Amino acid sequence: MRVERYLENPIITPEMVKPYHEGFEVIGAFNAGVARYNGEVLLVLRVAERPKSDDPAIVKAPVFDAKEGRVHVFDFRLDDERYDYSDPRVIRDRSTGQLAYLTSLSYLRLARSKDGYHFSIAENPLVYPSTPLESFGIEDPRVTQIGEIYYIYFSVVSPKGIGEVLVSTKDFVTITRHGMIFAPENKDVILFPEKIGGKYYALHRPVPKGVGDPEIWIAESPDLFHWGNHRHLFGLRKGSWDSRRIGGGAVPIKTEQGWLELYHGADQKDRYSMGAVLLDLHDPAKVIARSEEPILKPEAAYEVNGFFANVVFSCGALVEGDRIRLYYGVADQSMALAEFSLAEILDSLSSGVYS
């Protein structure tokens, strides 16, 4: 299958984003939700900022204090054996293996473009942490337009876990918060863009701690705010590119053959790729086909090198006729763009095997 990476990739880099916090540096502008609004392409960027440090022996951890409405920064020595610093994104407690702090604070910021290739980036956040459940930041938004309203789901991180919060907007200026809809631990919530059989549907990815794996589920709702009838949709595949974890990516695309979902999968080495799955048009809880091989995997220099290498991760795409314009984060650092033929993706699924 042909993948046409934009020649000027990456289209947004951290260097293009002015820090919001004094004394911080932007280390990531990536994993953006995508929307069309008033003739423009909008990217709802995840922007990650890190406190600057002059001491290489010190790792800093920013934490948003909802009561005081400001960010505190805590210092950790690299020789402190209580903690594991092997993943540059997090500080883990060695005694439990669990996340103790993040090394950056993420929030959402808007990038606008007339042509979909060249973007201007707002100086202030569109959505910023505001509650104790967002003290470690907010991440990886997905934007679904239903009528005149744009619904934005994103992950929120705190010592209580990672859950999914919903906000909505009509103009990308005024934001209405609807609170945490999918409680910890859950990520990668994506709304379908219309009712199906009189119900709303969403993909989500619970992260079981006792038994089970991080796999994709589907739920239904009468009103977008109350969800039930949760069902397991599809899972990991041993020895494959999606053997360790999977999660929904772009908002499902309606085709004559079914709902096309572009999802991410990671292998045992945490190499993230993008694949596709086709869901029944009238019953999206039914899987019709699934790609055996990734439609996009880390190959370009900006994908295999960076803050967290070997990652392509999409939260949104646009469709124009047969063209899918996939916006995707690379190496947890920047944004890139690739284009595909919708028909070629569907054809690749027809030759695949679902199990």
Give the distance, in angstroms, between the CA of residue 307 and the centroid of all CA atoms in the same chain.
16
Instruction: Give the pLDDT of residue 350.
Output: 63
Average pLDDT in the 319-336 region? Answer: 97
Q: Give the amino acid at 316.
A: G
- Is 352 a residue whose pLDDT tops 70? no
Phi, psi at 225, each rounded to 5°: -115, -20
What's the predicted TM-score (pTM) here?
Answer: 0.95
Is 234 in contact with 287 (CB distance < 8 Å)? yes
With residue 303 as reference, give the H or E element that holds it: helix 301-304
Taking CA atoms, 30 is separated from 45, 140, 293, in Å, by 6, 8, 24
Instruction: Give the pLDDT of residue 276.
Output: 97
Is 345 in contact with 260 (CB distance < 8 Å)? yes
Average pLDDT in the 229-244 region? Answer: 96
pLDDT tens string 86-121: 988 899 999 998 899 999 999 999 999 999 999 999
Query: In percent, how much of the chain has pLDDT > 90?
Result: 94
CA nearest to 242, candidates 181, 312, 304: 312
Q: DSSP for 76-136?
A: EETT-TTEE-SSTTEEEETTT-SEEEESSEEEEEEEEESSSSS-EEEEEEEE---SGGGTT
